[in-house]
DNA sequence: GAAATAGTGTCTATGAGACACTATTGC
DNA sequence: GCAATAGTGTCTCATAGACACTATTTC
């Protein structure tokens, strides 16, 4: 609400106001909260979904992998700007290349115990990037690399939505020592530091949902692409094969999804078949009608 | 990312690490950011959508209305808990009544200049509440009241306002209510403090989208309800009349949306017609197939 | 009786998906 | 030639929406 740091002149009000007022000025009430941004940056490499991770240099979770992120620079940048800055720093992308990356806010995570050192509220962002060179090669990004999502969540976790009924903090047994993993957690060996595997799970579910009703699947591809390449994006993100013929017709039938470049693929590494026509992203921001994920029957309740 | 407040032992790393490290410990880098939660609480009163607002007691924006909210109590509560607490304080609801309210995270707003006093990052929440008594009557909530959304965004802001296709939408008598807002009046005079009209707009759009594919429209109603009452929720939130017959059949055909109570309405204030059957919310968490908003053609791009 | 509402029947247009088929390329 | 792929044709089924109609209640 950004209020109730009201001027002292408002002291004549009701008791609640006074209490709020005092709370507001008690340094312990808000000073100890740090604000960071974390980025779930997704890309496709060799037909597999990858996420950008960094290796932690110090405790807690020293040596483990985590999502890239960092502190918001107070008074100097917005949340969106902070996320874009972090992403650029870790990938080594310049502004031009960053312009082709889709970046959107994913959600905020602020349980009091998610970081053992202090109360840290993190604003998570989700990025869709086209194929990029190794982040490690980049100047700044020392420990950053693209990690296959399957290495973190062994058999995808395509079906069940991450399900965040109420509080998302509270991962039992994950705090304090920095080593205690949840017992019986399948991905234990590869899980990310802090609550970052939950953030990643939320990001993956968002990505799966988002390409249903937006043309953002094209953000994983280059300037021009074939329908088959676009289909590969959907198959990889959804983790399910799609019918090539029906997909082809469907994509071309949605207004503004793609538009023809008039050219054909020069087929680098093709295994036969006619040359595919090339398309670029259209001007639609929503797909209408949407592309529906196959068989979501189990997800309904 | 909640990292890079790394221990001094990690000092041997690359230059970037060191810079981050220093940034992290520079008090100006994160101390001055305050974290608040704001709540967009929506309810239906007399077939009109209302949002909970409070009157600001001091500058800035003294005397203007704003969304309810307040500071997150560092180290003592999660974001969800803070939002629930704020909502309870402002509405005077007890835990039991709060249990029937849907509360979800909406998004975060953190521009450096959104509050003139300091950098404030606000986590916005969206709440769907059934009809409630006046918030003002509640103990704590001095300046809180339910404000018609139209009083803030005069002619809805759902794209177009042309409510004409059918005629069955509005119940007679619900439109004559003088809320003190002049029709045709621009939004400027009544806009909320800070960037809260933007947050409200985002909340409204989320609400409109959410009732398409979730059964959350039932959260605006009591324990049991008629199909017509449910339709009134959709018509009010979407700002467009729906075909009664088709809506009826559609709702009953979606698995898990509603289930019959076996009883019929006792019709208080009915204006004729047979007694409607009563239903309660089903166990579905997603509607499959979804209810689609009428004519979104223009929205596509 | 008039008017409003609850609920159902039915027809049509559209889209999703299954399947079949042709054409074009690499090997 | 064989295998793989691009792209199109066609059929069936499910659904959204228009429209019509009956039954039930209030005034």
Q: Do A59 and B7 touch (CB under 8 A)?
A: yes
CA distance A113 to A111: 6
B264: nearest nucleotide, CA–C1' criterion: C6
Closest CA to B124 of B62, B213, B204: B204
Q: Do A16 and B140 touch (CB under 8 A)?
A: yes
pLDDT at B257 over 80: yes
pLDDT at res. B267:
79
pLDDT at res. B13:
43
pLDDT at res. A32:
75
pLDDT at res. A136:
55
CA distance A293 to A208: 8
Quick: pLDDT tens for A30-70: 457 999 999 999 999 988 999 999 999 888 899 999 999 99
CA distance A128 to A178: 30
CB B259 within 8 A of CB B243: no
Quick: pLDDT tens for B155-207: 645 443 333 333 333 333 232 222 223 333 444 555 899 999 999 999 999 99
Quick: pLDDT tens for B106-144: 999 999 999 999 999 999 999 999 987 665 544 555 688
Q: Is A245 on the interface with B (CB under 8 A)?
A: no
B37-57 mean pLDDT: 94
C9 closest protein residue (CA to C1'): B245
pTM: 0.83
Which residue's entry shows tokens 């970052």? A196
Percent of chain B exceeding pLDDT 70 equals 72
CB A24 within 8 A of CB A30: yes
CB B122 within 8 A of CB B66: no
3-state class (DSSP) for residue A290: coil
**Structural domains in chain B, sorted by start:** 33-206 (3.90.79.10), 213-300 (1.10.10.10)
pLDDT at res. B30:
44
B243: nearest nucleotide, CA–C1' criterion: D17
Task: Give CA torsion, residues A206, A77, A7, B143, to 10 deg.
Answer: -20
Q: Is A156 on the interface with B (CB under 8 A)?
A: no
Parts of chain A with a pLDDT under 70? 1-31, 133-142, 155-190, 268-269, 296-301
């Amino acid at each position: 609400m950004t209020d109730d740091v009201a001027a002292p002149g408002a002291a004549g009000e009701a008791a609640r106001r006074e209490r709020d007022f005092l709370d507001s000025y008690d340094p312990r009430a808000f000073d100890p909260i740090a604000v960071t941004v974390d980025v779930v940056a997704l890309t496709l490499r060799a037909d597999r979904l990858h996420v950008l991770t960094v290796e932690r240099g110090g405790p807690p979770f020293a040596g483990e992998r985590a999502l890239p992120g960092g502190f918001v620079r107070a008074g100097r940048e917005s949340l969106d700007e902070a996320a874009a800055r972090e992403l650029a720093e870790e990938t080594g992308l310049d502004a031009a290349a960053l312009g082709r990356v889709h970046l959107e806010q994913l959600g905020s995570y602020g349980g009091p115990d998610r970081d053992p050192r202090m109360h840290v509220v993190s604003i998570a962002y989700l990025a869709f990037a086209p194929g990029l060179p190794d982040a490690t090669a980049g100047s700044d990004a020392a420990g950053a690399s693209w990690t296959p999502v399957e290495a973190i969540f062994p058999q995808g976790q395509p079906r069940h939505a991450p399900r965040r009924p109420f509080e998302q903090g509270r991962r039992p047994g994950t705090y304090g020592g920095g080593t205690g993993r949840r017992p019986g957690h399948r991905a234990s060996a590869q899980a990310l530091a802090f609550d970052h595997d939950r953030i990643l799970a939320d990001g993956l579910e968002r990505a799966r949902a988002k390409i249903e009703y937006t043309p953002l699947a094209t953000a994983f591809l280059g300037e021009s692409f074939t329908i088959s390449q676009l289909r590969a994006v959907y198959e990889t993100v959804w983790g399910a094969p799609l019918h090539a013929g029906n997909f082809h017709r469907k994509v071309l039938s949605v207004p503004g999804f793609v538009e023809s470049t008039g050219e054909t693929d020069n087929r680098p590494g093709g295994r036969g078949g006619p040359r595919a026509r090339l398309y670029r992203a259209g001007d639609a921001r929503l797909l209408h009608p949407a592309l529906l994920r196959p068989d979501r029957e189990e997800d309904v309740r």
